[in-house]
Amino acid sequence: MVATLEPSTGNSGPWPDHQGEQPPSRIERTAHRCSLHRFVKGLLPAVFDFSCSQESQNRLIDRYGPRLVECPDMSMCHHIGKPMAVGQLGGTGRGVHHYRDTCELTGVDQPHDQGLEINVHLHRHNLARMRSVSAMPELTERDPDHLSTVFSAWLAGRLGPDADPSIVGITAPGSNGFSNETILMTARWSEDGEVADHKLVVRVHPTKHTLFLEADFSLQYKVLSNLQGIAGVPVPNLRWYEEDPAVLGVPFFVMDHVEGRIPADNLPYTMEGWLLESTPEQQETLWWSGIEALAAIHTLDWRALGFEFLADPTHGEPGLEKNMTYYRRFLDWAAGGRPQPTAEAVWEWLVANKPAERGPVVLSWGDSRIGNIIWDDDYQAAAVIDWEMAALGQPELDLGWWLYFDRQFSEGLGIPRPVGFPSHEDTVARYEELIGREVGDLLWYQIFAGWRFAVIMCRLCDLLQGSDLLPGDSDMGTNNLATQFMAQLLGLPSPAEAGSDTST
């Protein structure tokens, strides 16, 4: 999102004492504490709507300052700094702000009868675009009718002509991932004389971009195949892998759909959504279920399960050597010689403070976070998904990634964690109990997680620019939530300042 809701005093802490006044609503608090430009600054242009009552308006003006500057199509937005790109979308108080703009909400000229609430949200269309970065524009260019015909014929070859398969529904959903296309479809076929519908998920090799260095699309299928039926590590049931590009133009694989919910990344689950609205007990249940799944992955005998292919020595021996070498080469490739001041400063810190490895390597999930688990109605992990970053490494590699993203979506945004989430101290103690070994150096592994995410963001910036989803002069590759939060944690200059220094 591109609007910044920050008090003019620069205070980013809790709302001040009310001295007998009525406390602010939950959404007013959210408006106060969300420095949204620190979250998705540079990701995409965003559309947002908001309205508030006269009382809420007055209190916001008291809090954020009395100035109210009318914009062409958004009377409630005061712009600070540079010209604002605002486009009329219809209706008072709607507009488009370029990602570079920093805006301060001060009030509205037309109050609405919505009590004490102030609503700030992305327009559905742009939110879907943000959540489907994985697809870039690719799936939107595929014709659903053509896809249905293609998959019906393909399934007939897999199931046999007597199955008489047909596609009765097909869609391209929004996604939290970045690296693959996803197609959801419902297929109908006959089996043993019974006709039934089957909800399927198709993961498709990207046709116009590659997010990761030396990306191996088949890797996640191999990982999921080796994890089929493993107790404690729920994964989707795999169906088929198709290498022949004659079908879709690229390889793809098919798995069963898993019913459940996934906490959002954009906007993150710490700001809105079903997880934030759940009870503290449900939030705690979800957290521990995720930690138990993570521990189950790390206690597997990866050799016995056939994961030797992850030990390929191209980038070094399995463990920190290989992971650090790979992502260092990834950054060099993604940056293409352009300065990366924050990422380079963090890299120097990582090298200088590299810890000793405490024990044998384990199977590493790679993208280990709450948003990569499908959760059932009981807040238990129904499926662990998105394995394209799978590797061999110390268990702290995944635990650090898990803890880092928990901090990034709370501390990094200046907002609290869900109240039911256990502390990191309790999490580490429970995790050590589950895997039967001590862990350590977790600050280093969290910084390493943030640095790797910054490397990915550097590459993602190019992909978005290449797809005309981001202007060519965007600084997202160097100035994003990952670099901002790492700079905060290590006391480095802000990425915006560091980037400005390199350009002068």
Active site residues: 367
Cβ atoms within 10 A of the Cβ of 503, count? 8
Contacts of 99 (CB under 8 A, 6+ apart): 2, 40, 41, 42, 43, 44, 45, 46, 470, 471, 474, 476
Contact by Cβ (8 Å): 305, 226: yes
Instruction: Give CA–CA dist 225/495, Å, rounded.
Output: 41
Cβ atoms within 10 A of the Cβ of 456, count? 22
Cβ atoms within 10 A of the Cβ of 321, count? 15
Secondary structure letter of residue 261 according to DSSP: B
Helix and strand numbers (H, E) in the chain are: 14, 14
Cα-Cα-Cα-Cα dihedral sign, residues 4, 476, 449, 503: negative
Cα-Cα-Cα-Cα dihedral sign, residues 421, 425, 429, 434: positive
3-state SS record for 191-237 = ECCEEEEEEEEEEECCCCCCCCCCCCCHHHHHHHHHCCCCCCCCCCC
Contact by Cβ (8 Å): 31, 5: yes
- Tell me which residue of 183, 178, 163, 160 sits closest to 248, measured CA to CA: 183
Counting Cβ atoms within 10 Å, is residue 357 exposed (0-12), middle (13-18) or buried (19+)?
A: middle
Task: Report helix angle 442-466 to 341-352, nearest 10.
Answer: 150
Task: Tell me how far the alpha carbon of residue 251 is from its chain's centroid.
Answer: 24
